[in-house]
Amino acid sequence: MNIQRFTAPTAREALSKARMTFGDGTLILSNRPTASGVEVVATGEETLDALDRNDQQARQGQRQLAAKTAPALTANPDSQVIEDTAQLAMSTLSFQDYVRERMLRKRHEAIAAQTAAPAMPERQERPAAPRAPVPVARAASLQPGIAPIQVKKVAPRAPAPAPVSVAVSAAPSQGIVDELQAMKALIEDRFNTLTWLGQARQNPIHANLMLKLIRSGYSPALARTIMERMPEDLNAAAATHWVIEVLTRNLRTDAGSSAIHDEGGTYALVGATGVGKTTTAAKLAGLCARTHGPASVGLITLDTYRVGAHEQLRTYGRMLGVVAHLAHDRAALQDLLGLLSNKKMVLIDTTGIAPNDPRKRDMMDLLDLPDVHRLLVLNAGGHGDTLDDMISAFKTTGMQQTILSKTDEAAKIGPALDATIRHQLVLRGVTTGQKVPEDWERADAANLIAMSMRSPAKSAFDPKVADLGFFFAQSSPMQPGQFHA
């Protein structure tokens, strides 16, 4: 039996050596990695013919030997043991028969896989006839020049179970598709960003205006959206005027309606701690009392957490001639609202709460009453991300109204105006100081945008032209419908 080993650094080279020895009819018996590379054990197809001839001769010899020794074995009382021993004894012929059957089965599988149609189910193989266990080490030792080969006992194959691979492989396939889609979107976004930045750098007017917007505190998302919609045939002055007009048109205010203190109603001032809710409530109460009289205003505070909060609002009330009430729970608030229902304006001062404070949900549920409007008080000098968190935390259904406080303390009001524009808030007024009620102004979009676009003093936080790629690398344009050019 002509079986040889071939060792090479790679499997391809070992297979090439085997084919050079046995030709196109090479049969690979096994392959395994070794310390020196890959070892392949192979033989040729012509070996099968020799195996068939040797097998027939061996079977004929075994039958003749059994016929000659039958009388002797019958006379021997231990004949059954000897017969079993002879049947289970290992020989080179039985090992060759096992190898021949294994090679034939592999060859049939390869031919069936090549000729079968893709839509046809796999052909089930006929299970091999069970054979007596074979001591492999002894069989190899009987064949000269062949080292022992580890061969596992081959059990008859059972019919293939019902196909379930579709349901199992669906999730990994879908995961791969999702990853490819995400990678495609990322590549397209980066490519579009690089293309857009290249076009912007070629146009110095666009680059200068983008830099001015970023230095004024506007977000890269809003700045990029504006620049993408700006006409290309504008000079520097016309482009600047166009940008200011677009910002003014998208900043929503109550300029087309009555002032908040003339309109009246019930308002709950909400927001973070220290943004000026109590002072803002006192200013609105003072404006309403000045126009309609002290009896037209009602003051309620829910702030039982901060030390001296009730006393602060009560002090403002005494200055204005208005009584300030304290509500500890929802029932007390409902009773006070019923008591003050004849007032033109009722102002509710709430506890300052951070966006991630667990008490926020309780307070929002407390204010969920009919005809109670919420006024979100935002610090005009706050950071853009902080303002976004506050707006998202106190978001309400329908029209969301806001007041910008402490504009006199803000180095840049661009971040506050940017958040107001992107979240489509209605600006009802701004506070410009601590005086009650003098430091209050109605929201004028043109004045606020012009104030934000004034050239501020040089700052360590101001970007340079070379930094535009960093600012716009991960920014995405605003969603359609949020901005009007």
pLDDT, tens digit (0-9, with 9 covering 90-100), for 272-299: 988 999 999 999 999 999 999 999 999 9
What b/e readout covers 4-34, taking b as 16+ CB neighbours within 10 angstroms? bebebeeeeebbebbeeebeeebbbbeeeee
The candidate with the shortest Cα–Cα distance to 127, out of 157, 90, 161, 105, is 157
The candidate with the shortest Cα–Cα distance to 106, out of 3, 19, 29, 33, is 29
Residue-level pLDDT at 36 = 81
Q: Looking only at Cα atoms, what is the longest distance across the chain? A: 136
Question: Which of 144-158, 211-225, 418-432 comes out lowest in average pLDDT?
Answer: 144-158
Residue-level pLDDT at 285 = 94
pLDDT at 65 over 90: no
pLDDT at 44 over 90: no
Residue-level pLDDT at 454 = 82
pLDDT at 428 over 70: yes
253 with 427: CB under 8 angstroms?
yes
Residue-level pLDDT at 85 = 45
pLDDT at 268 over 60: yes
Confidence of residue 479 (pLDDT cuts 50, 70, 90): low
Question: Torsions phi, psi of 259, nearest 5?
Answer: -65, 160
Question: Which of 22-26, 66-70, 128-132, 336-340 comes out lowest in average pLDDT?
Answer: 128-132
Helices (H) and strands (E) in the chain, counts: 18, 11
pLDDT at 377 over 60: yes
Residues 6 or more apart whose CB falls under 8 angstroms from that of 379 comprise: 272, 274, 275, 276, 387, 404, 405, 406, 410, 416
How far is residue 301 from each of residues 280, 341, 351, measured CA to CA in Å? 13, 16, 8
pLDDT at 304 over 50: yes
- DSSP string of 280-320? HHHHHHHHHHHHH-GGGEEEEE---SSTTHHHHHHHHHHHH
**pLDDT tens digits, one per residue of 223-232:** 888 888 888 8
- Give yes or no for a cis peptide into 437 (omega within 30° of 0): yes
Confidence of residue 378 (pLDDT cuts 50, 70, 90): very high
When comparing pLDDT for 360 and 167, which is higher? Answer: 360
- Report the distance separating Cα 362 and Cα 375, nearest Å: 17
Residue-level pLDDT at 424 = 92
Question: Which of 266-280, 330-344, 366-380, 456-470 comes out lowest in average pLDDT?
Answer: 456-470
Residue-level pLDDT at 397 = 76
**pLDDT tens digits, one per residue of 386-412:** 999 999 888 877 778 999 999 999 989
Beta bridge partners of 32: 39
Sign of the four-CA dihedral 329, 334, 335, 341 = positive
Q: What percent of the chain has pLDDT over 90?
A: 26
Question: Which of 86-90, 96-100, 356-360 comes out lowest in average pLDDT?
Answer: 86-90
Pairing label, strands 345-349, 324-326? unpaired
Q: Helix or strand or coil: residue 8? A: strand
Residue-level pLDDT at 379 = 93
- Report the distance separating Cα 103 and Cα 48, nearest Å: 9
Confidence of residue 143 (pLDDT cuts 50, 70, 90): very low
Which residue in this structure is represented by tokens 């701004």? 430
* Joined tokens for residue 209: 């205006």
When comparing pLDDT for 192 and 357, which is higher? Answer: 357
pLDDT at 192 over 50: yes
Residue-level pLDDT at 266 = 94
Average of per-residue pLDDT values in the chain:
76
pLDDT at 217 over 70: yes
Question: Which of 12-16, 50-54, 134-138 comes out lowest in average pLDDT?
Answer: 134-138
Residue-level pLDDT at 242 = 93
Confidence of residue 306 (pLDDT cuts 50, 70, 90): low
Confidence of residue 18 (pLDDT cuts 50, 70, 90): confident
pLDDT at 133 over 50: no
pLDDT at 74 over 70: no
pLDDT at 32 over 60: yes
Question: Which of 313-327, 352-366, 468-482 comes out lowest in average pLDDT?
Answer: 468-482
Across residues 335-352, what is the average pLDDT? 92
Across residues 168-197, what is the average pLDDT? 64
pLDDT at 247 over 80: yes
**Residue 163 DSSP class:** P
Across residues 31-59, what is the average pLDDT? 75
Q: What percent of the chain has pLDDT over 70?
A: 67
Question: Which of 75-84, 202-211, 259-268 comes out lowest in average pLDDT?
Answer: 75-84
Most confident of 191-200, 211-220, 305-314: 211-220
pLDDT at 201 over 60: no
Q: Helix or strand or coil: residue 34? A: strand
Which residue in this structure is represented by tokens 């146009």? 203
Confidence of residue 155 (pLDDT cuts 50, 70, 90): very low
- Report the distance separating Cα 213 and Cα 421, nearest Å: 14
